Amino acid sequence: MMKKLIALLFATFFASLALAQEAPDALVKRVTEEVLEIVRKDRDIQNGNTSRILELVDAKVIPNFNFPHMTALALGKDWRKATPAQQKQLTAEFQTLLVRTYSNALTSYKNQRVIYKQFKMKDGETDVLVRTEVDEPGRKPVQLDYSLEKLDAGWKVYDVNVAGISLVTNYREQFAQEVRSGGIDGLIQSLAAKNKSLEGNLAKAAGK
């Protein structure tokens, strides 16, 4: 009995180790395909059911992202001015904003194909760029790149780049502007207000 238990423990330990060592390009491909597979089959998501989408994103996508790093990258120097408590609040609000706005993009998924570009990694690298391309008939292909870093818990995405535009650093000037006029707390408030108004829109859309 005891032997079996130990064997099981070992097996789980090595399984989790193997998972943590999943290569960054393999991770991007697996998560993308898993999410698209679900979207293709789920009528609710195709019809824009927001809570279903958020459920899916929560389960499949969010665990693979490093939101504190994304928030720090969006703020730049101002990140250091924030207290740990403020950093936590900023991260929570920014995560909500990013997840809300970009999850909805999944509802417009139709027949796009994701192409995974060739990926090479040097030994011991801890910061990599995984390049993909989204192809849709009748439209120009869109470049979609992920920056990943290696943490103890495995590879995590800390930046997403669409057609050469970082969804994260594109906020830097807007955030700096808010911090200049209202300090870190001013920025937290603006983000919270933005999230509230988006939630209001959702409620309205659901009520219709």
Q: In b/e form, how buried is each residue of 1-11, taking b as 16+ CB within 10 angstroms?
A: eeeeeeeeeee
CB of 164 to other proteins, least distance (A): 3
- Contacts for 168 with CB less than 8 Å, ≥ 6 apart: 70, 73, 74, 158, 159, 160
| Cα 23 to Cα 130: distance, rounded to the nearest angstrom | 10
Look at residue 32 and give its three-state secondary structure: helix
In this structure, the chain runs to a length of: 208
Looking at beta carbons only, is 16 or 174 nearer to other proteins?
A: 174
Complex with other proteins: residue 11 or 197, whichever CB lies closer? 197
Specify the residue, 27 or 67, whose C-beta has the smaller distance to other proteins.
67
CB burial of 103-124 (b: ≥16 within 10 Å; e: otherwise) equals beebbeeeeeeeeeeebeeeee
- Cβ atoms of 103 and 198 closer than 8 Å: no
Nearest approach, Cβ of 163 to other proteins (angstroms)? Answer: 6
Q: Output 15 or 185, the one with its CB closest to other proteins.
A: 185
The CB-of-77 to other proteins minimum distance in angstroms stands at: 7
The residue among 43 and 80 lying less far from other proteins, judged by its C-beta, is 80
Q: Which is nearer to other proteins, 30 or 117 (CB)?
A: 117
Q: Which helix (H) or strand (E) covers residue 157, if one does?
A: strand 154-162
Compute the least distance from the CB of residue 2 to other proteins, in Å.
44
Residues interacting with other proteins, by CB under 8 A?
69, 72-73, 75-77, 79-80, 97-98, 100-102, 104-105, 108, 137-140, 143, 158, 163-167, 169-175, 177-178, 180, 190-191, 194, 198, 201
Distance in Å, CB of 127 to other proteins, minimum: 8
- In the complex, the smallest distance separating the C-beta of residue 7 from other proteins, rounded to whole angstroms, is 40
H or E element that contains 191: helix 172-207
